[in-house]
Structure 1
């Protein structure tokens, strides 16, 4: 048998073995490569909690007396419109990640080593259930019952505290995430809510109301 023929035959056999080995590999060895998650645990937790946080802002707007000053009413509607858009964005993220819109452990994503307590008194990391800036049921009931000037002042006080809490959350997730859409959106929220908090504070001062403690 010619030498070149033997070499060709051996090469063919080697090629068949390589192909066969590649084909059988998934059956013998588990595939260690898995698809990267759409969102990290921190991103999912932030989206869930900020959605719940925004939803309470919508409740505040709904409970505001429709007979208040048009300036306050117009501000309330603008806040509602902006937060509805952001809720839609965050719920879209959670659908893509196949995650629940509600968190079973609110604020667990905000690690204890994030020094957020210095930014807002109610944002203590020792209690993961405490979502910063949220109104109590009693405060929401009081808002629903308030009328005229009293409604304006209470609404602005609750919304200012609410925005301050949202700023704590947005700042925290920005510090925790290296990059990505959630980080960029959190930064955008921080900027817009800072501006809104300034307007709310100005209106509250004009009405003679006290800033929330």
Structure 2
């Protein structure tokens, strides 16, 4: 009976975590957007003439809203790429964390926004930061959600393949245990495996990625892992 309770608790945890990045990452609400003024308003709207005026007047680029978001965070949520470019050129910090410890790179990764992600990377934002309440990375968050193109771009930019978060999961493990086994999660896992992710790193219970994929009946993932030499 105790074993059954532990299993049910574990399944409940997995269910809750399946939506964790989306739940933990809080975009500006409608009320917050209406209340925005100055640089936050211009960034959200992509109002480039107004933004240029503010930048010329030496506005505080690191001013925060109630959740610790800078104008750069806001522009990233809104996919206002030209606003992001202007802010970066004016000296806005690219790697700053908001209150839930998300940076712009992780915001773009969770939003499945490869174009904004690529812009941020080209401007010098780091894909290597530890972010979120789970002490994870943008790569782990993207792998969790099966955002395979984002995963490939983060890998190409040097994101840490084998970072272990505070749940004791890597990006590879999250692509399995929090994925649905479908095509996008399969491509995500394949990208990680092909890039050289460690196939031996296990979860807190000692389960390897291959064991986890087998347990879930994700045969395509099992086949890919076996072909790469996983045990």
Structure with higher RCO (Cα < 8 A, 6+ apart): 1
Instruction: Give 1 or 2 for the bigger CA radius of gyration.
Output: 1
Question: Would you tell me which structure has more helix in proportion to its own residues?
Answer: 1
Q: TM-score category by the smaller chain?
A: under 0.3
TM-score (norm 1): 0.26
TM-score (norm 2): 0.24
